[in-house]
Structure 1
Amino acid sequence: MTIHRSVRALSRGLALIGELNTSGPSSAQQLARRSGVNRTTCYRLLQTLQQDGYVTFDEASALFSLTPQVRRLSEGLSTQDLSRQAALPPMFSLLEQVSWPSDFAVFELGWMMIRESTHSFSPFSVHRSMVGLGRSLVRSALGRAVLTAASPAQRHEMLEITASLVPEDAALARDRRYISRFVARTKSDGYASSVDETEQGISAIAVPIGGVGPVIGSLNIVFFTSAMTTEVAARRYLRSLKQAATEIERRWRAATP
């Protein structure tokens, strides 16, 4: 077999796709550093990938992201990647408006798993690493928002999974009165809330995020309990929070084949 010289540009382009697939939305500087590709070359490769439809660029956040067209190359672009791609730019816009940090989470194995967060960018956060952490389905605002928006059948399934897999939440997940009370309150308020229930001194308000079909997750705003009540937070920030959730839904639908 004749051995030909490798095409470095192709290898580097695939390396950038691999970095975006692993790390999610990233700036050109971050990609250059992680991949070892010269920054000028990195920009040129990203522009080529963007022209060919494999990469998209969000001017508001200056981040590059994969597009569903990457699925033609591999199965690397998952539903999780799509949800994160949809969530991050609106979350940065929300942070500019309210300053308090936000988390985007999805239901997974009895927990609300945080997939994206602006904690590391907020001047008011005491946490710096939130992505990958779980929050209670029944005690967090994130979980209550999803449970309230879910259909009765979906809610039942999620609660059954939580009761089976999360011992500390099992009793509450099986308590129908407890669930009915916060579902009714969330519907009445127009948002889910939590005060000192997932972490002492921390409160949150949250709204659900719908996708193509069932609810895909929820978005919150987190703040110190001593700073304000959830009612005050809702008066100040609920409109911006709902606008961010609506934009995530729009981006999700646009990115889903």
Structure 2
Amino acid sequence: MHVWLNGEYRTAENAFVPVTDRGFLLGDGFFETMRAHRGNVAWLHAHMERLAAHANVIGLPSNLLPSASDVAGIIAKLCKQADLTRAVVRMSVSRGSGPRGLLPPAPPTPTVLITVALFSPTLPSDGLNLITAQKIRRNPWSVAGTIKSLNYLDNIVAKQEAHQAGGDDALILSVDGSVAETTIANLFGIKDGVLWTPDASTGILCGLARTFVINCAKANRIETRFDSHTPGQLADMDMMFTANALQGLRPVATLDGKAICTNRPPQDIFVKLAQMVEGNLCNGI
């Protein structure tokens, strides 16, 4: 396996990060996952814009990141080296090495790592079984929660909790008990032809797939609402599904062991949105 680390192509076995790196010591950094088809990355410029936004949030000059054109070239070469037609790409950025303490070095020298791996799509018909996380809540004031922070402990603990309960993923609530998102995806519901998704104020990470779905709904004159919902209210949805930039849209089959109204799914709306998302991801637009 080959990777790109700080300007050099290396084998994974020969790629090292210093023990003084703040990403390792403090989780001081962020990452982005992308989907590539034949070396072309879907939504690349949007991914790069989000990486720059994450950098600005933590006070890391975004001009220290590779350009979108450079990243495109790096990913294409890595996919070719690995002989991957479909790949999941991860770009990880830490603030780099620094002295002891919380304050970052000035100026920083970030560590940038790009890796590719085989992407195995999940069948859209495979419904998710969600378990409501009891240990974790989304915090609207948390910096780490609203960017793809290198510190992913909240998501890891929630995923473990769901796994131990026999679920595929965890439904995470906001601090006020309202529905927020899953560990890796944004959540949507459909009720009487109206699309619903939690508002950004719940502390969610607003993903690229979420934005795409909302824009598609608007273009197709499908009303979208962002009001607060409790987990109990989700059982009355005609359908629920998740959205992320790797797996696209996936229906939710059960929540805490109870079926989500599968007797009357609004397949026309879901299928239309899913096809639009998948078409963009496969074509690397």
TM-score norm. by structure 1 comes to 0.28
Task: Kindly indicate which of the two structures has a greater share of residues assigned to helix.
Answer: 1
Q: 1 or 2, which has the higher strand percentage?
A: 2
- Provide TM-score, normalisation by structure 2: 0.26
More contact order relative to length (CA 8 Å, sep ≥ 6): 2
